[in-house]
Structure 1
Amino acid sequence: MTEAGSATVESLSGDRPSRRPLEIFAAIFVAAGSIYFFHLGTDSLGASEAYSAWAAAKPGVGAIVRTPVLHDPGKQVFYYVVLHYYTRILGLSEISLRSMSAIFSLATLMLVFALGCEMFDESTALAAAAMWAFNPLAVVFAHTARMYSMLIAIALAHLLTLLRVRSRPGIMGGIGCGILGAAMLYTHMAGLLILGAEAAILLRDLARGRRDSVAWMAIVLAIALFLPYLPVAIRQSQDLIYGHWLDYLGPPYNYPLAGKLAAGLVAAGVTSWLVFGRAVERDGNEPLRVLVAWIGLPALAFAVGSVILRPMFNPRYLSPGIAAAALLIAGSIGAWSTKWRNLLAAGFALACLIMLPFARTEPPPWRDLAGQVTAGGASEPVFFESGYVSNGNTADVSNGGFPFGYYSVPFNYYFKGANSRIAIPGFDAAAARMTIEERVSEAGGGWLVSWKDRDEVNSELPDANRFRVVETYRQPHLAIYRITPAVK
């Protein structure tokens, strides 16, 4: 074929987009949906999932808003509110609670494809979707009744609308982008770092003579809509820093000042290069640099914050960037070789499918524990440690966290019996031990559900000469003990 004829064919195919990528994406979408909705009710809820059910079961929005403020700081309210109305229709079963996450995970898959089309082309979008669809992390988020699948979907939708108003400004698009940005903040505080990364992207545009007025308006609108909740978020942050170490904030590493300064300088250098560095892409919109900034700057902030302040790096809080990384990988390799991009996407998807059966973790014990307590009799109390779930030498710090006991919520989801649930102070081992010994002696038996490791929990276990203590379950941050009076 002559060069002119080849150019004509390419021109015609460009005018009429191929349906093949869409057809392949539809097949991937159906396969992913089958996996995301598979066995949603098999395992009992984890502790955090039970808190989602507990918050969703509240009578109204006001009570839902008070839940993270009083009992579970650091958790934003939008997910709980949406889940509340969703479960009013479908109920509070494991399948109902987790199915909303599966729906948002499918929405994420569509958004990955849409972002790929917006930033690159349909073939790159298809490769990115294939790499994300069967990723074990994507499946875990789809199977977990937590806010992370919603956070990913909203964050990617916000990025998509921001890119569109950046290239095709429109007031309605800017308003929609701002609302999505606020929804992201109300879903998880990590959204603040994403907004910061987007501001850095727009600042680069400004430095290169591109004003992006509507995009800036969207960022400002998102922050303005979040301002009414800011005092609550500040109070939550104080609780997180001084007590709530279950998720990510732990005791400081006490790095030397020189190390902290070096980390700060590295972060400043990387950020400056992303904002003011020389352009290396032919596309004036710089999609690869945009993705590097959107993914990398929040991760960098968490990493540097862990060095300067306290440990705070957790992959869950970077979940939107992990999903967007599929776009970065597909776009980067596609710029070098479309053949290798397609082979990598297909191979990675196949490897993920092979790994999925082996990626299943041990199910939480709450359903089994409820059956064991029932068999033990209605007179036996169940003890739960109050206070924040903490690590290392922080367990003896007096605080008012989780006054009813952190693990009482997942236990109560499955156990409806009359057994007394007794909160003992997790930060006062002597008082906890005295209460356990007294109540177990009266009832003839009991159960302790602890978030402490073996060394920490020993000081609150009853006297081994007068009581028999059997550890029936042990996982990180969770142990269950059967306690009975010793036979004389």
Structure 2
Amino acid sequence: MDYAAGGHGGPPHYRRRLRVRNPLYLARWADNRIPMGGRASRRPIEIFAAIFVAAGFIYSFHLGTDALGASEAYSAWAAGKPGVGAILRTPVLHDPGKQVFYYVILHYYTRIFGLSEVSLRSLSVIFSLATLVLVFAIGCEMFDDNTALAAAAMWAFNPLAVVFAHTARMYSMLIALALAQLWTLWRVRKRPSMSGAVACGIAGAALLYTHLGGILFIGVGVAMLVRDYIGGKRNPMAWLAIAITLALFMPYVPVARAQSETLIAGHWLDWIGTGYEYPLAIKVVFLLGAATVAMWFVVARTRDAGGDGQLVWLGAWTILPGLMLAAGSVVIRPMFNLRYVAPSTATIALLMAAGLARVSVKWRNLLVAGFALACLIVLPFDRVDPQPWRDFATQVSQGGSSDPVFFESGFVSIGNAPSVANDGFPFGYYSVPFDYYFRGSNPRIAIPGFDSTSARMTIGERVSSAGGGWLVSWKDGDAVTSELPDPKRFSAVEKYRGEHLAFYRITPVRK
């Protein structure tokens, strides 16, 4: 037998060398090393597809059932502007911190599908489904298909994910763009390329143009690249991606700076209030503690130091943004809100799926399945309270068409009303959601929310001449009582009382 001719005879060591050099044999050998041929790699994708479809159904369920909230109505108001120029002025004047990209996208989306509750919220459904895909993609990129599947299952039916999908605000878009920036940054870090750097830079700029909170995640990305640099990993393409992001956002910096000053100095609903009176020592200790944690992520040697540092990256991305806001809340003013670190809530799923796998893949899978099932059971009972704006509109329409509706102008605050004159929301913060549902001719009158004496006089005069009126207020307790006219001359009946929202029917007392 001619050994060179490929016969099967010959010494065993020769047959081994011949098979190793045979590509067909190598392919069959590799295939035998994979359970079930190639089917094992397809199974996570098939299961993910089923999760994706189920999530799409849940995210789309009852989109138009509840009335829009006040902030959602602002999205509709901005999207309904006649053009991009008018949209660009919206966050500058009325909605600091919320940037223009979401409003522009929503503007063109609603030109096709309309301004109904379903249409406005369906864009959030699309971004939420994109987030689910990105969670799976990041899991595959950083770990493996099964870890990616576990993370996707944990996030898909999480009540937070459902809430973001059902809300016509930019937060679902914020999460999707932040994860896109993380995914592209990780890819360009591992496989440097000019196209990857450009894609990552554009994703980062889109993130910043969506919400100022994106600065936190860009900052974490920079910190992790500094960690790479200290560790001897030089990747100019990753730094180029950050440079592209900053260059694209540079034209908007003056506006963002003005907005930041307003956010810090002003009093804004659901985000910032009167500074806590912590002792200086507590502020210093908390600031140093936060800085120490941040420095640990940047310089500490970990078990992942010899690998790619996936858990360190995800840990920094999950912990540091919230830690920065918490430190700012103690040192400056309250500013922490879960919505502003929403992308971190998605990476918690990735972090847990990867961390649990290091302990036990079997127990990881069981816990993930149990968590997903628990979320599905809880979802029907986890609905937010319905918004009252449809009911307000109905009540006003049943009254006289000449009865004025009063709205407080000025910056909106939690707790004590600001007493300093300001030009925030000159038409009244709550006039926007009210006008979304009410189409009557009743006069809308703005009263100064920072001057209760002037507000009380205006309400008394207009109600006397019209024979009745309505007050929609964001104030609580004594703050709103101080605006109501003399109880000896006017009857003020509270029709609704909710969180930072009250509705009154005011009529002259009949003698």
TM-score by length of 1: 0.97
1:397 Cα shift? 2.0
| Aligned positions of 1:71-110 closer than 5 A | 71-110=94-133
Contact 2:271 2:335 in 1 (8 A): yes
Aligned residue in 1 for 2:482: 459
Aligned residue in 1 for 2:344: 321
What code does the residue aligned with 2:472 have?
V
What secondary structure does 2:387 align onto? coil
- Judged with a 3 Å threshold, the aligned counterparts in structure 2 of structure 1 residues 237 and 282 are, in CA distance, closer, same or farther, namely closer
- 1:452-478 Cα offsets, whole Å, 9 max, x none, are 001111111011111111111111111
Q: For residues 122 and 314 of structure 1, what CA distance do their matches in structure 2 show?
A: 32
Contact 2:272 2:413 in 1 (8 A): no
- 1:200-222 Cα offsets, whole Å, 9 max, x none, are 11111111110121111101110
Aligned residue in 2 for 1:482: 505
Match of 1:46 among 50, 69, 72: 69
What secondary structure does 2:482 align onto? helix
Contact 2:476 2:500 in 1 (8 A): yes
- 1:390-427 Cα offsets, whole Å, 9 max, x none, are 13334322111000000000000111110000000001
| Aligned positions of 1:307-456 closer than 5 A | 307-456=330-479
Q: Which runs of 4+ in 1 moved over 4 A?
A: 5-8, 11-17
Match of 1:180 among 203, 207, 211: 203
Q: Any unmatched runs of 5+ in structure 2?
A: 1-27
| Aligned positions of 1:220-239 closer than 5 A | 220-239=243-262
Q: Percent identity?
A: 67
Which has the larger Rg?
2
Q: For residues 284 and 308 of structure 2, what CA distance do their matches in structure 1 show?
A: 33
What code does the residue aligned with 1:85 have?
Y
Q: For residues 227 and 213 of structure 1, what CA distance do their matches in structure 2 show?
A: 21
| 1:272 and 2:290 are equivalent in the alignment | no
Q: Any unmatched runs of 5+ in structure 1?
A: none
Q: For residues 100 and 240 of structure 1, what CA distance do their matches in structure 2 show?
A: 27
Contact 1:51 1:410 in 2 (8 A): yes
Aligned residue in 1 for 2:25: none
Contact 2:267 2:274 in 1 (8 A): no
What code does the residue aligned with 1:91 have?
G
Match of 1:468 among 491, 495, 506: 491
Alpha-carbon RMSD across the aligned residues, in angstroms, is 1.6
Match of 2:188 among 140, 165, 171: 165
> Which one is further off, 63-72 or 404-413?
63-72
What code does the residue aligned with 2:303 have?
V
Aligned residue in 2 for 1:299: 322
> Which one is further off, 64-73 or 393-402?
393-402
> Which one is further off, 96-105 or 273-282?
273-282
1:247 Cα shift? 2.8
Contact 1:382 1:446 in 2 (8 A): yes
1:284 Cα shift? 1.1
Q: For residues 259 and 337 of structure 1, what CA distance do their matches in structure 2 show?
A: 40
Q: For residues 110 and 257 of structure 2, what CA distance do their matches in structure 1 show?
A: 29
| 1:151 and 2:151 are equivalent in the alignment | no
Aligned residue in 1 for 2:312: 289
Q: For residues 285 and 16 of structure 1, what CA distance do their matches in structure 2 show?
A: 28
- 1:9-61 Cα offsets, whole Å, 9 max, x none, are 43466877521111111111111000101111111100000000000011111
What code does the residue aligned with 1:173 have?
G
Contact 2:75 2:169 in 1 (8 A): yes
1:198 Cα shift? 0.6
What code does the residue aligned with 2:401 have?
A
Contact 1:243 1:399 in 2 (8 A): no
Match of 2:41 among 9, 13, 18: 18
- Size of the alignment, in residue pairs? 484
Q: For residues 263 and 31 of structure 2, what CA distance do their matches in structure 1 show?
A: 62
1:256 Cα shift? 1.3
1:264 Cα shift? 1.6
- 1:149-208 Cα offsets, whole Å, 9 max, x none, are 000001101110100000000101100100000000000111111011111111111111
